């Protein structure tokens, strides 16, 4: 059942549908899947992954577009299942390569991505669709299905081809009491199941969680209680696209006569869009500009902020560091209304600790019911398998543990184990005559965004950054006479972040001089690079033995 590392995939056979996930398998984020048949490509989602601590300086991580980079003219469309960053965040970077790729999605999803693309000065070609719509894109016919998620207007997509059909759920859950009354359309799923689903791509994020995901409505009473007992300002942190959570905050604030200010550029932008399109019901007079909150008593203010994942530059992190126009303090209540994305735990706990030191009360999922997941738990996935009755299953959207748990659920409902495809990013899966199987693997690495740099930062660069951050830096400068082999100047040794004073290096200086002199006298053909490597090895072994450290060592040998 486990995915394998295989050779380059064979040429695509006629009447075969190829599926390649370029992100979202083995990770929570960077969701992107490419379907190919008849020489044409259809893409579903194009999201980002947020960096972890071992990726210092990285802003975002993109899917690896190299698999399709030379075939962008063959792309007939990019279907966006919903408006979360892990599904739409990489669209601007793909459209930089070919701006006229058609974007297909629901009203809210397209509005979010169009606003994002405006910042990148890209005007996209879009096609707005809704549940029940059927559209043809080259050899692909797409039918759209309503699904419930933590953002309104989410869609699953059913893809018909001559090789068979695929049902891709996107992110979804089966909340039976959703805030907007829009449930996952299981009748539509059943209808598609009767038609025949040859390959089922299912959201795996909560596959290892037993039972059913808690309804969103259960959060309302908790927020109401917290708003009723707080005597000072309330700061609620959430994803900037979590319209349902913002709606609940607006409702609670209205019930307790509080004003609400949106904090964070993306929060202001997204909620403005959601309100304009009717997906967010804003009570009249409740919103105030962040700059005017000081005009109201603390007991009448709610701040709706970004930064629930501990992002360093987001509003809540800056508040915790005292580096934000809004100063939080004694008696304020901070509510983290989101779950932890794997890898962000330490960053979030740092923010919580910073807020607690300032005297705030911090409420989070671990202490009160202030967040529920947007993903189907095991019980809901079992329902879906029994309704859809797929011939082949490929779990998507999750870490390896989530994909494996989802695969086992499929087997429990009768899907043969050899028809459950556990794949990695870049795994090539071909559907032919009703059977899906792994046929190869394509290159699919991380593409890092660091400021204006895209894809120029490598894993080796990140390793160097980690070494600099954890072990420090030592430079060694030596001037040598190539002809005599004598040291003219140095070694001059300077250290940063090593904790020891520079005089600790006096014992190693003669050893470096001796190693260089002997090397030049033995072989005057040594290149400058080879001499620098001698300095590096001599210095490195001494530091490792004497100081028990492995800092970055930068040797500079100047010849005269």
- Collapsing DSSP to helix, strand or coil, 25 comes out as strand
What token pair was written down for 550?
Answer: 């492995």
Query: What does DSSP say about strands 75-79 and 103-105: parallel, antiparallel, or unpaired?
Result: parallel
Annotated binding residue at 502?
no
**Residue written as token pair 């209304």:** 337
120 noted as active-site residue: no
| Alpha carbons 144 and 157: distance in angstroms, whole number | 5
| Alpha carbons 414 and 178: distance in angstroms, whole number | 30
DSSP alpha helices (H): ranges in 69-195? 85-88, 91-95, 107-119, 186-195
What token pair was written down for 528?
Answer: 């400058």
375 noted as active-site residue: yes
DSSP alpha helices (H): ranges in 161-242? 186-195, 219-229
Strands (E), 218-307: 234-237, 259-263, 301-305
What token pair was written down for 398?
Answer: 């999750």
**Residue written as token pair 């659920």:** 409
Catalytic residue among 175, 185, 203, 424: 203
Annotated binding residue at 450?
yes
CB distance 149 to 372 below 8 Å:
no
Annotated binding residue at 59?
yes
Annotated binding residue at 372?
yes
Annotated binding residue at 397?
yes
Annotated binding residue at 254?
no
**Residue written as token pair 């869609």:** 155
Annotated binding residue at 87?
yes
- Collapsing DSSP to helix, strand or coil, 330 comes out as coil
Tell me how long the chain is. Answer: 560
Work out the number of other CB atoms within 10 angstroms of the CB of residue 411. 15
Q: Which of 207, 214, 328 is nearest to 263 (CA)?
A: 328
Work out the number of other CB atoms within 10 angstroms of the CB of residue 281. 13
| Alpha carbons 516 and 206: distance in angstroms, whole number | 60
Annotated binding residue at 371?
yes
Annotated binding residue at 242?
yes
Q: Which of 309, 297, 305 is nearest to 343 (CA)?
A: 309
Annotated binding residue at 86?
yes
| Alpha carbons 27 and 201: distance in angstroms, whole number | 15
Annotated binding residue at 281?
no
Annotated binding residue at 240?
yes
- Provide the sign of the torsion angle of the four alpha carbons 126, 19, 374, 361, taken in this order: negative
Annotated binding residue at 149?
yes
Catalytic residue among 375, 424, 425, 430: 375
| Alpha carbons 277 and 111: distance in angstroms, whole number | 9
Annotated binding residue at 82?
yes
Q: Which of 184, 194, 179, 300 is nearest to 245 (CA)?
A: 179
Annotated binding residue at 492?
no
**Which residues are catalytic, by number?**
203, 375
Which residues make up each annotated binding site for Ca(2+)? Answer: 57, 59, 450
Which residues make up each annotated binding site for Zn(2+)? Answer: 82, 84, 86-87, 149, 171, 397
Which residues make up each annotated binding site? Answer: 57, 59, 82, 84, 86-87, 149, 171, 240-242, 371-375, 397, 450
Which residues make up each annotated binding site for substrate? Answer: 240-242, 371-375
């Amino acid at each position: 059942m486990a995915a394998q590392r295989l050779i380059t995939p064979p040429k695509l056979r006629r009447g075969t549908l190829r599926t390649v996930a370029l992100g979202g398998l083995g990770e929570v984020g960077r969701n992107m899947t490419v379907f190919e048949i008849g020489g044409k490509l259809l893409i579903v989602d194009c999201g980002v992954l947020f960096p972890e601590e071992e990726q210092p300086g990285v802003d975002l991580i993109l899917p690896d577009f190299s698999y399709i980079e030379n075939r962008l003219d063959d792309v007939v469309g990019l279907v966006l299942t919903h408006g979360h960053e892990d599904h739409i965040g990489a669209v601007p970077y793909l459209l930089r390569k070919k701006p006229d790729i058609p974007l297909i999605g629901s009203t809210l999803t397209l509005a979010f991505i169009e606003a994002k693309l405006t910042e990148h000065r890209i005007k996209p070609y879009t096609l707005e669709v809704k549940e029940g719509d059927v559209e043809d894109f080259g050899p692909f016919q797409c039918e759209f299905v309503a699904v419930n998620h933590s953002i309104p207007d989410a869609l699953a997509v059913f893809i018909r081809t001559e090789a068979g059909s695929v049902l891709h759920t996107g992110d979804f859950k089966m909340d039976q009491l959703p805030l907007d009354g829009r449930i996952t359309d299981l009748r539509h799923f059943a209808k598609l199941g009767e038609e025949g689903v040859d390959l089922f791509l299912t959201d795996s994020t909560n596959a290892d969680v037993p039972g059913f995901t808690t309804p969103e409505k259960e959060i309302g009473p908790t927020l109401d209680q917290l708003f009723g007992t707080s005597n000072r300002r309330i700061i609620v942190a959430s994803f900037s696209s979590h319209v349902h959570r913002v709606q609940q905050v607006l409702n609670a604030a209205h019930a307790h006569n509080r004003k609400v200010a949106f904090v964070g550029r993306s929060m202001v932008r997204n909620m403005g869009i959601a309100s304009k399109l009717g997906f967010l019901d804003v009570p009249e007079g409740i919103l105030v500009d962040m700059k005017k909150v000081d005009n109201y008593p603390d007991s009448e203010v709610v701040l709706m902020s970004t930064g629930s994942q501990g992002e360093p530059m987001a509003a809540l992190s800056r508040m915790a560091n005292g580096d934000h126009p809004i100063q939080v303090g004694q008696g304020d209540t901070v509510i983290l209304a989101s779950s932890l994305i794997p890898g962000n735990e330490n960053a979030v706990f740092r923010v919580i600790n910073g807020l607690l030191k300032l005297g705030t009360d911090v409420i989070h999922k671990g202490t009160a019911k202030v967040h529920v997941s947007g993903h189907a738990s095991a019980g809901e996935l079992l329902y879906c398998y029994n309704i859809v009755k797929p011939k082949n299953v490929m779990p998507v959207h999750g870490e390896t543990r989530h994909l494996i748990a989802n695969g086992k659920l499929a087997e429990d409902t009768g899907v043969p184990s050899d028809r459950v495809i556990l794949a990695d990013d870049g795994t090539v899966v071909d559907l032919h005559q009703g059977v899906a199987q792994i046929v190869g693997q394509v290159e699919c690495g991380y593409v890092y965004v660091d400021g204006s740099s895209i894809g120029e930062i490598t894993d080796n660069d990140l390793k160097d950054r980690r070494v600099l951050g954890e072990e420090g830096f030592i430079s060694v400068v030596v001037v040598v006479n190539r002809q005599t082999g004598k040291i003219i100047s140095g070694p001059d040794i300077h250290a940063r972040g090593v904790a020891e004073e520079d005089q600790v290096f006096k014992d190693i200086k003669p050893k470096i001089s001796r190693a260089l002199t002997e090397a030049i006298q033995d072989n005057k053909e040594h290149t400058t690079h080879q001499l620098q490597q001698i300095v590096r090895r001599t210095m490195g072994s001494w530091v490792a033995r004497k100081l028990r450290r492995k800092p970055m060592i930068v040797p500079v040998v100047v010849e005269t």
